[in-house]
Chain A
Amino acid sequence: MSILAVLEQRAGAWHRMSWETLAAAQQLSAELKQPVSAMVMGAEVSALAAELAGKQLERVYAVEHELLKDYTPDAYTAALRQLIAKVNPRLVLFPHTYQVRDFAPKLATALERVMVSDVVSHRVDGDSVVLVRQLFQGKMNVDVRFAGDAPHFASFQAGAYRADKVAAGSAAVEKFTPELAPSEIRTRPLEWFRESQRAVDLTAAEIIVSVGRGIKEAENIPIVQQLADALGAELAASRPICDNGWLPMERQVGSSGQTVAPKLYLAVGISGAIQHLVGMKGAKTIVAINKDPEAPIFEVADYGIVGDLFQVVPALIEEIKKAKG
Chain B
Amino acid sequence: MKIVVAIKQVPARDSLLRLDQAGGWIQESDLSYEINEPDAYALEEGLQLKEKHGGEVVVLCAGPARAAQTIREALAKGADRAIHIEDENLRALDPLALARLLAAPLKAENPDLILTGLQSDDLGYGQTGVILAEVLGLPHATLIMQVDKQDGGIRVKRELEDGWFQRVDMPLPALLTIQSGINKLRYATLMGIKKAKTKEMKRTTSAELGIAPQSTIRFERVYLPEKTKHTQILEGSPKEAAAKLVEKLKFEARVI
Cα separation A321 to B134 with both chains bound (whole Å): 58
- Our count of residue pairs bridging A and B at CB distance below 8 angstroms stands at 257
- CB proximity of B254 to chain A, nearest CB, Å: 9
**Is A143 a contact of B220 with CB atoms below 8 Å?**
yes
A257–B159 CA distance with the chains assembled, in angstroms: 10
A315 and B216 CA atoms in complex are apart in Å by 53
A residues in contact with B246, CB < 8 Å: 316, 319-320, 322-323
- Of A140, A190, A292, which one neighbours B167 at CB under 8 angstroms? A190
List the A side residues contacting B241 at CB < 8 Å: 305, 307, 312, 315
Whether B22 sits at the interface, judged by CB under 8 Å, is: no
**Docked-complex contact B234 and A187, CB < 8 angstroms:** no
A102 touches B141 (CB 8 A): yes
Chain B residues 132-191 with CB under 8 Å of chain A are 133-135, 139-143, 159-171, 179-181
Find B217's partner among A137, A144, A192, A244 (CB 8 Å cutoff).
A144
**With a CB–CB cut-off of 8 A, which chain A residues contact B13?**
213
Closest Cβ–Cβ distance, residue A191 to chain B (whole Å): 7
Chain A: minimal CB distance from B169 (Å) = 4
- CB contacts (< 8 Å) of B142 on chain A: these are 98, 101-102
* Cα of A186 to Cα of B170 in the assembled complex, Å: 7
A-B contact pairs, 15 of them (CB 8 A): A117-B127, A190-B167, A191-B166, A240-B180, A256-B179, A257-B162, A285-B253, A288-B231, A292-B14, A292-B16, A303-B232, A305-B233, A312-B242, A322-B246, A323-B250
From the candidates B14, B135, B181, B239, name the one contacting A239 in the complex (CB within 8 A): B181
CB of A178 within 8 A of chain B?
no
Which of B79-87, B104-112, B222-230 is the contact stretch?
Answer: B222-230
Q: Which residues of B contact A285 (CB under 8 A)?
A: 249, 253, 255
Instruction: Assess the B181–A188 pair: CB atoms within 8 A.
Output: no
Instruction: Give the docked Cα–Cα distance between A305 and B242 (Å).
Output: 8
B residues near A287, Cβ cutoff 8 Å? 245, 249
Who on chain B is nearest to A259 by CB? B162
Cβ contacts under 8 Å, B160 to chain A? 98-99, 192
**CB pair B121 A137 closer than 8 Å:** yes
What is the 8 Å Cβ interface bit string for chain A, positions 99-136, against chain B (1 contact, 0 not)?
A: 10111011011101111111000000000001001111
When distances are taken between beta carbons in the complex, the residues of chain B under 8 Å from A193 are: 164-166
Does A229 touch B at the CB level, under 8 Å?
no
B232 touches A302 (CB 8 A): yes
Q: How far is the CB of A23 from chain B (nearest CB, A)?
A: 18
Chain B's nearest CB lies how many Å from the CB of A310? 9
Judge whether B78 is part of the interface by a CB distance below 8 angstroms. no
Which A residue sits closest to B167, measured CB to CB?
Answer: A190
What does the 1/0 interface line of B4-18 toward A look like (CB < 8 Å)? Answer: 000000010110110
Total count of chain B residues near the partner, CB < 8 A: 75
Contact of A141 among B16, B126, B222 (CB under 8 A): B222
A58 interface contact, C-beta 8 A? no
- Is A35 an interface residue when CB atoms closer than 8 A count as contact? no
Contact assessment for B123 and A135 in the assembled complex, using a CB-CB cutoff below 8 Å? yes
Majority secondary structure, B binding face: mixed
CB-CB nearest 6 A-B residue pairs? A243-B181, A148-B216, A315-B242, A105-B127, A186-B139, A311-B238
Residue A194 at the chain B interface, CB threshold 8 Å: yes
- B248 within 8 A of partner (CB): yes
B124 within 8 A of A: yes
Write the residues of chain A forming the contact surface with B, with a CB cutoff of 8 angstroms: 73-74, 97-99, 101-103, 105-106, 108-110, 112-118, 130, 133-148, 186-195, 198, 207, 213, 231, 239-240, 242-244, 249-250, 255-259, 263-264, 284-285, 287-288, 292-294, 296, 298-308, 311-312, 314-316, 318-320, 322-324
Beyond the given pairs A114-B131, A258-B163, 15 more chain A to chain B contacts, judged by CB atoms under 8 angstroms and listed by A's residue number, are A73-B139, A105-B131, A106-B130, A143-B221, A146-B217, A148-B216, A194-B165, A240-B180, A243-B181, A294-B17, A303-B253, A305-B238, A307-B238, A323-B250, A323-B256
B216 touches which of A142, A147, A244, A305 (Cβ 8 Å): A147
Kindly state whether residue B88 has any CB partner on chain A within 8 Å: no
Question: Is B14 a contact of A187 with CB atoms below 8 Å?
Answer: no
Q: Is the CB–CB distance between A300 and B229 below 8 Å?
A: yes
Find the A residue at minimum CB distance from B129: A105
A190 and B134 contact, Cβ closer than 8 Å, known pairs A136-B26, A284-B255, A299-B225: no
Question: Which residue of the partner chain, among B123, B139, B256, contacts A231 with CB atoms under 8 Å?
Answer: B256
> Which residues of chain B come closer than 8 Å to A117, judged between CB atoms?
125-127
A285→B199 CA distance, assembly (Å): 54
Q: Please, which residues of chain A bring their CB within 8 A of the CB of B200? A: none
Would you call B218 an interface residue if the criterion is a C-beta within 8 Å of the partner chain's C-beta atoms? yes
Contacts A112-B216, A136-B11 given; does A105 touch B130 at CB 8 Å: yes
Which residue of B has the minimal Cβ distance to A149?
B216
